Structure 1
Amino acid sequence: MFYTLANTTLPLLAWAFLTHPEWDVELFGGQIVIHAWNLFLLATALMPLLSGAAFVFLPESPKFLMSRGRNDEAMAVFRRIYSMNTGRPGEEYPIEKLHSERAGELAGGLAALRGGGAQLAPLFRAPHACWLLLLCGIHVGCMFGSNTLRLWYPQLAAMIGNHVDESLCSAIAPDATPPLPADWEGEGEPCQPIDTDMVTYLQSVIVGSGSILTYGIGGMLVNKCGKKLVTAVCCWVAAALIMTMPVLGAGAFSVVALVTAALAFTSLSGAALSSIPVDLFPTDLRVMALAIYLMTGRMGTILGTVAFPALMDFGCYPPFIAISGVLIVCGAACLLLPNTTLKRME
């Protein structure tokens, strides 16, 4: 839900800066000019800096401290958490002694690499290898469908504008390219800036906030219906919505409604899917399995953002049919996963 809040506030931040091209700041007698988009990038860069500073105030993981034999420090963290959660003094924490979980001494150099390889080897052997490959493939497809549409929507919204009678296909079809200016003497086509207004950014806010409802009810659906079933159904519903966009996207508001609903379902499918590897892999392999899982998902995002404009060259329907087809296959593949709902973690 906080990820969704970020998606809703970012368009507002962009509107606050990018709609004011007159905010040019000249430094050193005009040698350096800071534009509105530079200020926008500066504002977005401050967010991770503030987040990094906030981590300084977080306690160290008790699990890490115990693995290094620092049980006294771990106990202090546990008591601090107990005091923050209950409002009682930390001395009333019911646990008086922690089990010694000190790990062996860390090796260095080639020995460390060999030790890490030995720990990862089971992840690429039966029975974990097949599940990891299947999960990564599904995640690539989900991110291909979800993030491609999410990242390209602001451009589509700007192309459509707020004209009710302008359809999605008329805006992105190859023959919709504006004619060249009469005084154009360069090679190829000039850059045609797209003017945006508050409506364009407001549409992005609506699209980003649409997932809040699905996240709110997602927990109840997952526990009642199962993670893989929720993931599969959400993929199929999102595929159906995306496939109808070229037909039903007859105006800006209809496109907003379809994109909002499609992204809400893909977001829920991704959230349900990401909880499966946590339950499926044992503790000593879980972190690396999640790292590989997330890395492959980002590859799906890159693939989608590159493929979408290439498919638009073939017309309006191919990009949406491709995304829908990928999501349909991902939904079917989810049914091959084991049921891990309410499974006890090991």
Structure 2
Amino acid sequence: MLTIFWCEKSIAGNMKVSVDTVKLQEIEMAMNGSSDKNGMKVDKTAASLDDAMLLSGFGIYNISHMLMSGVILLGMIMQSLALGYILPAAQCDLDLTLQQRGWLSAIPFLAIILTSYFWGWLADTQGRRPVMLFSMMISAVFSAFASFAPDVISFGVLVFLSAIFMSGSSAVVYTYLGEFNNLRHRDKMVAFGSSFVGIGTVILPCVSWLILPLEFAYPISILGIEYRPWRLLVVACAIPFALGSVLLAFAPESPKFLFATGNYDAALDVVKRIYHRNTKKDVDTFPIKSLIVDQHTAKTSNVRGLAAIWSSMKEQTVPLFQRPLLAWTALTCFVQFGIFATTNGFYVWFPSILNSLAHHEGGESRICDVLDAGRDAVSNGTMICDDTIHTSTFERSIYIGLVFSSMYIIVGFLVDYVGKKPILVVILGITGVCGICAHLAYNQQLAVVLFAVFQMSGACIGLMNAVAVELFPTKYRAMAICLSMMMGRVGSMVGSNLIGLFLEVNCGAGFYLFGSIIIVNSLFCLTLPNKKRIPHKKIVVESTQNETHEPV
């Protein structure tokens, strides 16, 4: 297959000949009414959900669904990282100290840490779509309110409330995206959808560059503020969530979730909808008329009362810390912690680091030497509030964002052919080494390039979520991903504050520590299972709730 952006002429033409063609032939034999080895007639209109997803094909529906999920991810990453540009521009209006900037930068991650678990449970019990739709709309509203905050306290509270609801979609969207694609294309589409995280790191400095240099100040006497460009940037970063809410309003619920909760007809209707969009054929021509259900599939009961909610959350959580899922829970949480701590932790301070490099007028020196010199100059002189950001800061941020998003796209193309495990091991290993070397480089341009490569470890976040979609059964999948993402947010909060501390006391130690963590993550990924393949065997009734691997 040359590219994923062409619709299929036939389902079999896009499946691997050695594996998927055999499976599709067996599906067709079953639908044609062939008998099994005992001479019993096979129902020619019934199939498992995975088989039905294979027959729905791959095309415009999958691509449009990936783009919608990408818009949601774009809103998530812009709101999470926007404070890196907003706070330097707002430090005079809000009278911010360096310590306050560090804690404000950590507020979105703290909110996500405290609420991801709840959102994961809600998504596994009430549905992926309603959770994301509700949370995104409320998050966008609170972001708009935050742009009018008169002081640091009100700004922090409103950002915190916005981040609480942003958490509802930050992890669920990966599950929602993965469950609309069959096993053949799932990894690839999750990887391409995750590329919008990288695209967000390009769009964010672009939007900041367009807005922050503007010179306007509209007084709002009732609030005692002047509406300056940084306040407009707060609103601009919430626009993708507003757009994502509109798009999601026309999207269906995940067929995997519908099937897992006993809504089999609704699940089949969604599959038919995918088939219709991909093939341009009428839904009545879809060969599957019913879905095969095994005895383990049970409909979720309605939850009432705090005791029932606690019992349901316990039921969703305990299996993640028991065999056979415990090993995968520990691995995904640890790897996400390290990646988020490194990528988001450094990115929060990234504009400040680049701004210091842009104002450096001496000869060639290491990144940490430049930062130390700037700090000493401030401590020895009169401190004057300056909220301007050098133009080169935006330019370099855009260049690094382009490399970042390119890595996501490259991963999306390679994942089907190479597999998730080799990509994770290689990327994490190389980026970890580059992080250590970035501190040692005396040439500023080389140091910035190595630092940019160091940030490429973030391209593995979506890939780890694709791993989790495959490792965990449908019943616990959203909870597992939310748990791993919650640990990632813990890493972001810990990383942003630790890096701020290291920049003050020992800059080089931060590069050594987080570079080593990424290298250790690379070694841990060696324990992941190899690329999942559809077995060469006759189709059997297989519950989507039991799609998991035994721990290594």
Please say whether Structure 1 and Structure 2 have the same fold, judged by a TM-score greater than 0.5: yes
Aligned letter for 1:171? Answer: V
CA RMSD of aligned residues (A): 2.9
Please give the alpha-carbon distance, in whole angstroms, between the structure 2 residues aligned to 1:175 and 1:10.
26
Whether the 8 Å CA contact 2:345–2:496 is kept in 1: the answer is yes
Please say if 1:79 is aligned against 2:272: yes
User: Which residue of structure 2 lines up, in the alignment, with residue 255 of structure 1?
Assistant: 447
Shift of 1:3: 1.7
Q: Deviations over 1:308-335 (max 9, x none)?
A: 0111223331111111121122222222
Q: Deviations over 1:194-233 (max 9, x none)?
A: 6323321111111111123322332454455543333222
Please say if 1:154 is aligned against 2:333: no
Say if 1:301 and 1:224 are closer, same or farther in 2 by CA, change over 3 A. same
Please say if 1:178 is aligned against 2:370: no
Please give the alpha-carbon distance, in whole angstroms, between the structure 1 residues aligned to 2:302 and 2:261.
10
Aligned letter for 1:152? Answer: W
Please give the alpha-carbon distance, in whole angstroms, between the structure 2 residues aligned to 1:308 and 1:29.
39
Whether the 8 Å CA contact 1:26–1:32 is kept in 2: the answer is yes
User: Which residue of structure 2 lines up, in the alignment, with residue 206 of structure 1?
Assistant: 399
Aligned letter for 1:131? Answer: W
Please give the alpha-carbon distance, in whole angstroms, between the structure 1 residues aligned to 2:274 and 2:434.
44
Please give the alpha-carbon distance, in whole angstroms, between the structure 2 residues aligned to 1:30 and 1:301.
33
State which drifts further: 199-208 or 85-94: 85-94
User: Which residue of structure 1 lines up, in the alignment, with residue 282 of structure 2?
Assistant: 89
Please give the alpha-carbon distance, in whole angstroms, between the structure 2 residues aligned to 1:68 and 1:139.
29
Please give the alpha-carbon distance, in whole angstroms, between the structure 1 residues aligned to 2:475 and 2:222.
59
Please say if 1:302 is aligned against 2:493: yes
Please say if 1:169 is aligned against 2:342: no
Give structure 1 regions of 4+ aligned residues with deviation exceeding 6 angstroms.
none
Whether the 8 Å CA contact 1:66–1:102 is kept in 2: the answer is no
Please give the alpha-carbon distance, in whole angstroms, between the structure 2 residues aligned to 1:150 and 1:133.
25
Shift of 1:255: 3.5
Q: Deviations over 1:153-188 (max 9, x none)?
A: 111101111658454223211664334697x5xxxx
Identity between Structure 1 and Structure 2 (%): 25
Q: Equivalent of 2:328, from 125, 131, 134?
A: 131
Aligned letter for 2:219? Answer: E
Partner SS state of residue 26, structure 1: strand
Please give the alpha-carbon distance, in whole angstroms, between the structure 1 residues aligned to 2:256 and 2:476.
16
User: Which residue of structure 2 lines up, in the alignment, with residue 103 of structure 1?
Assistant: 299
Please give the alpha-carbon distance, in whole angstroms, between the structure 1 residues aligned to 2:494 and 2:452.
22
State which drifts further: 216-225 or 284-293: 216-225
**Aligned residue pairs, count:** 336
User: Which residue of structure 2 lines up, in the alignment, with residue 330 of structure 1?
Assistant: 521
Shift of 1:27: 3.5
Q: Equivalent of 1:57, from 250, 271, 275?
A: 250
Please give the alpha-carbon distance, in whole angstroms, between the structure 1 residues aligned to 2:406 and 2:240.
25
Please give the alpha-carbon distance, in whole angstroms, between the structure 2 residues aligned to 1:30 and 1:126.
56
Whether the 8 Å CA contact 2:355–2:393 is kept in 1: the answer is yes
User: Which residue of structure 1 lines up, in the alignment, with residue 458 of structure 2?
Assistant: 267
Shift of 1:81: 2.4
Please give the alpha-carbon distance, in whole angstroms, between the structure 1 residues aligned to 2:384 and 2:424.
41
Please give the alpha-carbon distance, in whole angstroms, between the structure 2 residues aligned to 1:268 and 1:179.
36
User: Which residue of structure 2 lines up, in the alignment, with residue 25 of structure 1?
Assistant: 218
Shift of 1:87: 2.1
Please give the alpha-carbon distance, in whole angstroms, between the structure 2 residues aligned to 1:123 and 1:65.
21
State which drifts further: 62-71 or 146-155: 62-71
Say if 1:74 and 1:263 are closer, same or farther in 2 by CA, change over 3 A. same
TM-score, normalised relative to structure 2: 0.55
For structure 2, the 5+ residue unaligned runs are 1-194, 535-546
Aligned letter for 1:263? Answer: Q
For structure 1, the 5+ residue unaligned runs are 185-189
Q: Deviations over 1:236-264 (max 9, x none)?
A: 2112111121222532x333322222222
Say if 1:294 and 1:7 are closer, same or farther in 2 by CA, change over 3 A. same
Aligned letter for 1:153? Answer: F
Say if 1:280 and 1:94 are closer, same or farther in 2 by CA, change over 3 A. same
Please give the alpha-carbon distance, in whole angstroms, between the structure 2 residues aligned to 1:331 and 1:175.
35
Please give the alpha-carbon distance, in whole angstroms, between the structure 2 residues aligned to 1:197 and 1:254.
20
Please give the alpha-carbon distance, in whole angstroms, between the structure 1 residues aligned to 2:212 and 2:374.
28
Partner SS state of residue 237, structure 2: helix
Whether the 8 Å CA contact 1:160–1:166 is kept in 2: the answer is no
Whether the 8 Å CA contact 2:198–2:459 is kept in 1: the answer is no
Say if 1:199 and 1:114 are closer, same or farther in 2 by CA, change over 3 A. same
Q: Equivalent of 1:281, from 472, 475, 478?
A: 472
Q: Equivalent of 1:320, from 490, 511, 530?
A: 511
Please give the alpha-carbon distance, in whole angstroms, between the structure 1 residues aligned to 2:512 and 2:385.
28
State which drifts further: 254-263 or 322-331: 254-263
Shift of 1:102: 6.3
Say if 1:279 and 1:63 are closer, same or farther in 2 by CA, change over 3 A. closer
